[in-house]
Amino acid sequence: MQLTLYTDYSLRVLLYLGLVPERTATITEIARAYGISRNHLVKVVHNLSIHEFIQTTRGRGGGIALARPPEEINIGDVVRHTEVNFDLVECFNREQNTCPIAAACILKGALYEAQRAFMAVLDKKTLANVLENSDWLRSVLRTQNALAS
C-alpha cells in the first residue's frame, strides 16, 4: 500500500507541530522545513483543521498548532481522514471494477486482510509515539536550518 503525498504531508505537519508545542508555527515555516510546496500545505492544513487535528489562528501573530495533545492524535485516524481511497486494486471498487475474475479471486481476500493489518498497526500509534525521537528530529531539522527556534 502506498499513501498519497497528501497523507505524507499531513503527517509531516503534525510531526512538526508536535516538535514545537510551546508556540504556533506557520505554513511557510513548515514548507521550508520540509522543502515542499506551501500551496500544497495550505490544503493539507485546511483539512487537518476541519478534522480538528490542528487549530488555526488568522492574522498577525497567527499560526497553527495541535488541537489536542499528541497522545490523543491517532495515526490511523489521520490516515483515514487524508486518504481519499483505499482501493489497493481495481476490484476493491465495486462501481469501477472491470476485472473478469473478481468474483472467483482468492487474492482479493488476502489483500483485504493485508490492508486491515496495515491499518491495525497505525491504529496502535499516536503522534506521541512517533515523536519519541523528538530530540533527533529537531536536530535533523536544525541541521537543515529549517526548524525555527
Q: Tell me what pLDDT residue 14 has.
A: 98
Q: For residue 6, give the 3-state DSSP assignment.
A: helix
User: Global pTM?
Assistant: 0.87
Query: DSSP assignment of 78-126, as one string?
Result: HHHHH-S---SSGGG-TTT---TTGGG-SHHHHHHHHHHHHHHHHHT-B
The string of pLDDT tens digits covering residues 38-63 is 999 999 999 999 999 999 998 888 89
Taking every pair of Cα atoms in the chain, the longest distance, rounded to a whole number of angstroms, is 60
Domains in the chain with CATH codes: 5-85+126-143 (1.10.10.10)
